[in-house]
Structures are given as C-alpha cells and as structure tokens.
Amino acid sequence: MKTLIRNPLLVTMNEQNEVVDEGAIVIDGNRIAYCGPAQWTPDGPFEKTIDARRMIAMPGMVNAHCHSPANLVRGMMPSKPLEIWRAYYRASLRDMREDDFYASALLGGMEMLKNGATTVLDHFAGSAACRFMGAGAAIQAMRDLGLRHVAALTVTDKSYEDTIPLGQTDARLNDEIKRMSASEAKTTQAWLDECEEFIETFHAPEKLTTACPGPSAVQRCTDELLKGCAEMSRKRNLPLHLHLAETKTQQVQGNGIYGHSLLRHLDSLGIVDANLSCAHSIWIEDKDVELFAKHGATPVHNPASNLRIGSGLAKVKEFLAAGVQVGLGTDGAASNDGQNMFDAARLVSLIHNHAGSDFNQWITPTQALAMATRNGARAFGLDAGVIAVGKLADVVLLRRDTPAYRPLNDVVNQIVFCENGSNVDTVIVNGAVVVEGGRLTQVDELEVLRLADEARARLEPSMQRELAAARTMEPALAEMYFRMFDKGA
C-alpha cells in the first residue's frame, strides 16, 4: 500500500535536524519511499492520501525503558528510595496472571500511542507463576495495538539478599526475603534456556516484536549469566538491555563486589558494545562516560522516575559532551505514573539547567528530541526514529492549529516545551495507521479501560496482603539506605 502525507511541516530528526516547511512523505508498504519538499513528490497512484496541511510530521518516539506490568499500580507506590520502593512494587506483581499482564500492557501501550510513541522497550519482569513471567501476554497486547516493541526478558540468578548490602537483619524477615528471592531468581542455566526459548517463540520483527535478553542489573546476575546473555544477543544480532547504577546503594555494592564500577565490570567481561543499552546509569564515574563513548553503548535516561524515587540525576551533559548518544524513557508507571514521552523530553531539557553551571552545556530541545527518537531507535538496531528514505514508516502527525503552536516561532522548541500529547492526531506504525483523529484504530479504547479495571479489582485482596508483607522489610531497607550515604560508605 502506498500512502501520501501531503504538505505537513516536516521535522525529520535526521543527523542534520532538517525541517521542511511544506513537505511530503510517501510511504510504500512499511518503509518511507520519499520525504522532502512537496514540489518534488513522486507521482502516485496512492491508495491513501492524508491532508496534513495544518499539521506537523515528526518521527514516532522511542520509549527506551519501561515495565508494562506497572500500569495497573500507577499512583500506588510510595515516593521512597528504589530499594524500598522495589520491595513494594515486586510484591504487587506476585498474584498477577496472563490476563492481568495483557490488560496492563494494553493500558500503557494505548497511552504511549496516543501520546506519539511508536516503539517501546519493555523490560519485562512479572510473575514466576506464568510462562516467561507473563511476557507473552504483554507482547500480544502490543501486537494487538500495533505498537512496535522490544521485549527484554528480565533475568537474575542471585538471591535477593546477595544483591543488596542489607547487613544483619531481624530473623523474622527471613521468610519474606526467601519469598522475594523465589519470585525472581532461577539458576543460571535455567534462565539461559528460558531466554533462548523466549526468543525462539516471540522474536518476529514482521509482527513488530524484537525479543532479547534483559539482565535485571549487573549486581543481580552472576558473570556466567551476564556473559551468556551477551553471547546470545551477539549470536542473534539482538539488543542487550539492563539496569545500571541506579542508586548510591548499587554503586557501593558494585565497588564492594568487583572492586570498581559496575560498568567497568561489564567491560572486563567484554559486554560493553553498541548493542548494549543501560537504563538510568546515574551513579557512575568519569571513566564510565568514556567507556560509553568508546564502545557506542547507550545510557537511557529516565528523568521522571529518577525524580520520583530520589535516585539522582544522570550525567547527561557529560554524556553529550563526550559524544555519547543518550536514549530516553518513561520507566514504568509505578515510578513515574505516566507513559508520556513528551513529558520525558520536556523534563530532560529542564532539570539539568543548574544555576551557576555552564549554560553552554545545557540540554537543547533538539538534543532532547533526538534522545526521544533516533537515539533510542539506534540503541535497539531499528531503522526508525528518523523520517528519511528507507526508514521504517513510524510517523506522528500533530495538529498545529492549537495554542501550543500559535504563534509558531520554533517548531522543535515548541514540540519539546509546549506539547503534552493532546495535539496528536495521527500515528502510523510500520506503515499502518494505528491512531486516527486521536483515537486508536486497532483496539476499542473503552474495552482497554474495562479490562484494566477488571484486572485491578481482581488483584485487590492479594495485592493488599502482599504489600503488607513487603512493609515489614522497610525498616531494614531504610537503615541500609542511610548507611550508604554515611561518610566513608
């Protein structure tokens, strides 16, 4: 099928950041066959023509890190440090089943598509009671929506107590600690076998699915598991995604285990490469920035989540100064509460502008939008994130007869500073229109909301029970948190 998008204001986000005032885009199948001035549009015929005269065309955004099971618990989790927050969040997932994971992924995917994201990295960790922890249900939801996705199966083979420096704990916590381990950890070979089977079962780019390994975090995995996942990714030419140095506690734990930073340990294993993306990457060293630059790996910044649970600010300005291509993510709705990439782009362009710092290194709107588009696509090996000939046809059309774009002074600045997703009119993924007139075309939106409400209502009794059990861990985790920030920690 050939589609013509006629006369939009075209924001290409190519390496030259070109903007074409009266542009045109021709889509042939699932690829862009032409983009440029409207006067040079190739002849048809076209099966579909979209009059975009009063619209802005931009690449679909790439949400480079989130967790789809979290959508059912948005607004529930406390704003407390990650290690405390995570105990509650993981407890909330224990009784979730396939239908719940499907409903949760539908809900978050709907929000992302209606707010201009066409690709998401779902770092999936669900319930040990489900096959692949329930990831298959989330993949089906995203396929049903028409949302391109990278499904990274979260794996960890260390017991919970070996992944954080809890110190001496009350013996009454032992049962809860064992339950936390049982809900996440498996043996190294069991996880490697399961990850291989997961990829064999679901990897299908033609169905919008990239399936890959997603080690939970460096300190949560043995070297054997990390190396096995890296080899699996390289052999199959897939991405490799993990959490890196999100908190001070993780930095201290890494130094204690390895004698140097978590990223330097990955590098010693030969894992730091262009296919590696690392969510958060906050508590790192200057030498780590150099390693990212040297190997072309991608740190993924999650500004809202980092603020919500007080993890700190990533060295985004230092990354950019070193030539590192930073990705951008929302993180899950349990630590952000929204899946809107326009919010993420606005935040990253604001929160690093510290008083007294060199304003020449403040993050520009163009840099922020690049993080939200082409940088994320590059991290996952996708021909997306840019409107250019030969690229995947993932395109967003924004209405510009709105206050956000009147007067239209600088289109990129206004996308980043003024857009909140309310002006998204049309979203095209892989050449197919999946949002039209601001509404989903593949799935009934009211049915998505009904399924989410139904799942959440079913989970209420068990969720309250599990959250109460997790609450017993908070004093010990709080003591650990303050100890990590003591002098000399």
pLDDT tens, position by position, 191-217: 999 999 999 999 999 999 999 999 999
For domain 61-379, give the CATH number.
3.20.20.140
CA distance linking residue 125 with residue 155, whole number of Å: 8
Q: Do residues 42 and 54 lie in contact, with contact meaning Cβ atoms separated by under 8 Å?
A: no
Domain 2-59+387-439 has CATH 3.40.600.10: no
Per-residue pLDDT of 60-117, as tens digits, reads 999 999 999 999 999 999 999 999 999 999 999 999 999 999 999 999 999 999 999 9
Structure confidence at residue 488 (pLDDT): 45
Residue 450 CB: number of other CB atoms within 10 A? 12
3-state helix, strand, coil in the chain (%, to 5): 45, 20, 35
| Range in 279-288, 377-386, 427-436, 475-484 the model is least confident about | 475-484
Of 123, 221, 116, the closest CA to residue 163 belongs to 221
Percent of the chain with pLDDT over 90: 92
Domain regions of the chain by residue span: 2-59+387-439, 61-379
Amino acid identity for residue 93 in this structure: L
Flag whether pLDDT at 230 surpasses 80. Answer: yes
User: What is the chain's mean pLDDT, rounded?
Assistant: 95
pLDDT at 223: 98
**Global pTM value:** 0.97
| Position 487 pLDDT exceeds 70 | no
Query: What's the CA gap between 276 and 101, in Å, rounded?
Result: 26
In this structure, the strands spanning 23-28 and 9-11 are unpaired
Q: Is the pLDDT of residue 465 over 60?
A: yes
Q: Which pLDDT belongs to residue 291?
A: 98
* 422 vs 114: CA distance, rounded Å: 8
* Predicted confidence (pLDDT) per residue in 31-56, tens digit: 999 999 999 999 989 999 999 999 99
- What mean pLDDT do residues 240-249 have? 97
pLDDT at 455 over 70: yes
Q: How far is CA 11 from CA 28, 151, 407, in A?
A: 19, 28, 17
Local confidence band at 489 (pLDDT 50, 70, 90 cut-offs): very low
> CA 47, CA 24: separation in Å to the nearest integer?
15
In the sheet that holds 209-215, the strands lie side by side as 61-66, 117-124, 148-155, 209-215
Each residue's pLDDT tens digit, 274-331: 999 999 999 999 999 999 999 999 999 999 999 999 999 999 999 999 999 999 999 9
pLDDT band per the 50, 70, 90 thresholds, residue 164: confident
Residues 6+ away with beta carbon under 8 Å from 169: 177, 476
Residue 347 has pLDDT above 70, yes or no: yes
Q: Token pair of 289, please? A: 């920035």
Residue 406: alpha-carbon gap to chain centroid:
31
Beta-carbon neighbour count of residue 173 at 10 Å?
17
Sheet containing 55-59, strands listed edge to edge, beginning at the edge strand earlier in sequence: 19-20, 9-11, 55-59, 395-399, 424-429, 432-436, 439-440
Contact residues for 44 (Cβ-Cβ < 8 A; gap 6+): 2, 4
What pLDDT score was predicted for residue 39? 96
Q: Read off the pLDDT of each residue in 181-198 and give the average, rounded to a whole number.
A: 91
- Residues 124 and 149: beta-carbon distance below 8 Å: no
Neighbours of 256 (CB within 10 A): 10
**Alpha helix locations (H) across 126-173?**
135-145
Whether 429 contacts 394, CB under 8 Å: yes
